Structure 1
Amino acid sequence: MSQINKLKILNDPIYGFISITNPLIYDLIQHPYFQRLRRISQMGMSYLVYPGAHHTRFHHALGCMHIMQRTIAVLRFKGVEISEDEENALSIAILLHDIGHGPFSHAMEHSIVEGISHEDISLLFMDSLNETFEGKLSLAIQIFRGQYHRKFMLQLISSQLDMDRMDYLKRDSFYSGVAEGNINSERLIQMFNVEGDQLVIEEKGIYSVEKFIVARRLMYWQAYLHKTSVAAELILTKILKRAKELTHEGATLEASKPLQFFLHHKIEGEDFTGDVLTKFSLLDDFDIISAIKAWQFADDYVLSELSKMIINRDLPKIKLRAEKATREEVAALRDKAIVKLGITEKEAKYFVFEGKIKNQAYNKEGEPIHIMLKDRSLIDVVQASDQLNLKALSKPVTKYYVCFPKVLLEEASI
């Protein structure tokens, strides 16, 4: 009886060839939980701004695993002892770090379920897979939870300079065409080291770190927080909110069985049983888009109009400003929407709303990116850098937005 060859080579447009060198990694990739990531977009609704941004969480997870393997090789070359079990665990942990994302990634994170993050759902998936694979993921879960005694291993998975950020910046820059987000990931990998159980960058790699932080800031403003992407994602969450509202009022809406379940039930963190996890694993972008295509013809004006905005890319106007809009300004816009669209005050809140976005490229209050000087002493990258703008980039920048229908554009004084 022939055996499946589980040692594969995949072709990736970012790194070239990615090797699957472990049968367990192959089996995890083949599992339906992981294959679902092929149907979860990496950049949410950003494809409405950047037409090429159709890549998926599946791409991203494989890329993270690849650069984790490259980093482990570099650290071993520099004398850092990493066992085969630890290597496998690190590869598994980074491979599965995003497995808990719901449809359209961050766009709907607290819309499908409430009070639970995608990281927590990832852990639930990992625990379930650990049962399926008879405890072979235990060390990976221990590292992912930050419970392993070698702390630098968690920093490889989750820190201000981790495999996740290094891949998504390079990958999202490539697919969106936002060249300013591109980073030299290979140079950064070669500069990694470990000192005092801390993941560090050698001093000669400081310019690559500076570029990384600047690239992250630019990608957030130009891609992740692009005002049109923000508007689309806000409309997406309001569509689901309206659908849930109508469902709870007794309306019957066309949707897949998994989506119907989450429309009918308010699922919070403590409700996330194994059965709920199974239903969540059946949800992806296609459920949402299919439903929205049907809902554009719904009898409810709000649900229909919001759905048409996404399907036809006829999004509301969004204006960014330095100060928060006053209650009076928002109320005035809602009053105009009520008259212009013939809707109620409650319905107007779906079309006119305000909020804020924040960009902080580097968090000085968080775990620092350590630069290791020639005497092996460690210093925060902000102190080590001769770039004055790094200090500026460590300060959060907040912008406020107001969204309203385009028909109010001439009357809006915002």
Structure 2
Amino acid sequence: MIIKDEIYGTFDIQEPVLEELVETNSIQRLKGIHQGGASYLVNENWNVTRFEHSVGVMLFIRRMGGTVEEQIAGLLHDVSHTAFSHVIDYVMQEEKEDYHERIFKEIVYQSNIPSIIKKHGYDVEPILDETNWRLLEQPLPDLCADRIDYTLRDMYHYQGLSIKGVEDFLQSLQFDGHVLYLTDIHIAEWFVRWFYCEVIDFFMHPLNVHGSQRLKELLKTALTKQVITMEDFLLQDEEVLELIRLKGDKDLHNMLTHLEEDVTVIEDKENYEFHQKNKLRYIDPLVLSQDNTLHHISKLSEEVKHETIKAKAQSEKGTYVRKVK
């Protein structure tokens, strides 16, 4: 299997277990699940999918020398994401935005993924335990494959991040078996800037918040009217919307029309229609200092310290959105 990825390059995947898992219905379903939830409905260019991200995480782990088991874990890590990704957390009032994590093993074991893994001689349970995989996941504020991929991928698509910048970052990135760290303080500062561009300027963009909140209201109403069920969120985004359209409910039709209309929105704390606070996400990469020890970049860079304080304040405040047109 040849995979050409716009971020990491071309890979020849020769391990049968990876080839077979990529082709499962469970992983292919992610082609119809958008990373940004409602984002693609309000801006057609905000259209990165969970499939692209999941394969990207697998390839990143591969590039960094991770085992086949960890590559499997990376490929599978978002397999339980519902339609519209984190919008379902808003529907269910999940402040930790972790609904997909809580149902992860249930979804995996309902699929043919375990039988494929076992067929190729690997143990399922250790692969599904993310605490075993230090490239894939790390607690905030450290670097990990998941955070790195969604930042690089989204910012490449949406904000003009260059492939040369990506490559410079990857060349500076090292893994010592326990943590990912950078060897260049300036590249660490570069990544912090892009990360906050992702989680503040994109995740909390007024148009993104407008879309998320309107979609949340649509889905909650559709659930209340029993037009859809929670099980339907295991379909793809457009399949859920089609269930709503086919019902012919006037209220739902109007809500969907308002969601998909071309609008202009602004931030307005005094006179707002929607307010949304996202889960706090901040980053503080480890950097190899001149004395050959690892330090978080905030200990070495006033710029990063300032950017993190600003990002935390913005995250705590949330986004206040008013439609102006």
TM-score tier, shorter chain, comes to 0.7 to 0.9
Does residue 133 of the first structure (1) align with residue 84 of the second (2)? no
CA apart distance, 1:380: 1.4
Matched residues in 2 for 1:54 and 1:375: separation? 43
Moved more, 17-26 or 369-378: 369-378
- TM norm structure 1: 0.66
Is 1:180–1:218's contact at 8 Å kept on the other side of the alignment? no
Q: What residue in structure 1 maps to residue 288 of structure 2?
A: 372
Q: Aligned pair count?
A: 312
Provide Cα deviations, 1:349-398, integer angstroms capped at 9, x if missing partner.
Answer: xxxx54243586635xxxx532223443221111123xx22111222023
- Go from structure 1 to structure 2 and tell me whether the alpha carbon gap of 1:189 and 1:389 turns closer, same or farther (over 3 Å shift): same
Note the C-alpha offset of 1:48: 4.5
Structure 2 match to 1:80? none
2:81 maps to 101
Give the Cα separation in 1 of the matches to 2:323 and 2:43: 22
Paired amino acid for 2:125 = S
The alignment partner of 1:234 has SS state of: helix
8 Å Cα contact 2:22-2:28 kept in structure 1 = yes
Q: Which residue of 1 aligns with 2:193?
A: 214
Mapped pair 1:291 → 2:232: no
**Secondary structure of residue in 2 paired with 1:355:** strand
Aligned residue type for 1:138: E
Deviations 1:133-162 (A, max 9, x none): 3363333223x1x1x4xxxx4254344321
- What is the DSSP-based 3-state SS (H/G/I as helix, E as strand, rest coil) of the residue aligned with 2:4? strand
- The answer to whether the Cα contact below 8 Å between 1:46 and 1:224 also exists between their aligned partners in 2 is no
Q: Quick check: 1:191 aligned with 2:172? A: yes
Match of 2:202 among 212, 215, 223: 223
Aligned to 2:49: 56
Question: Which residue is 2:277 aligned to?
Answer: 357
Matches of residues 229-240 of structure 1 in structure 2 within 5 Å? Answer: 229-240=208-219
Q: Is the partner of 1:198 in helix, strand or coil?
A: coil
Name the CA distance, whole Å, in 2 between partners of 1:219 and 1:228. Answer: 14
Identity of aligned residues (%): 23
Q: Residues 309 and 294 of structure 1: is their aligned pair in 2 closer, same or farther, counting only changes over 3 Å?
A: farther
Indicate if the aligned counterparts of 1:43 and 1:54 stay in contact, CA closer than 8 A. Answer: yes
Q: CA RMSD in A?
A: 3.1
Q: 1:40 to 1:173 in 2, by over 3 A?
A: same
Gaps of 5+ in 2: none
Query: Equivalent residue for 2:18?
Result: 25
Q: Residues 130 and 138 of structure 1 are in contact (CA less than 8 Å); yes or no, is this contact kept in structure 2? A: no
Contact 1:356 1:401 in 2 (8 A): yes
CA distance in 1, matches of 2:280, 2:163: 18
Aligned-partner residue type, residue 370 of structure 1: L
Q: CA deviation at 1:94?
A: 1.0
1:376 to 1:401, Cα distance in 2 relative to 1, 3 A: closer
Q: What's the secondary structure of 1:51's corresponding residue?
A: coil
- Partners of 2:70 and 2:179 lie apart in 1 by 14
Compared CA separation, residues 26 and 400, structure 1 to 2 (3 A): closer
Look at both structures and tell me which one has the larger radius of gyration over its CA atoms.
1
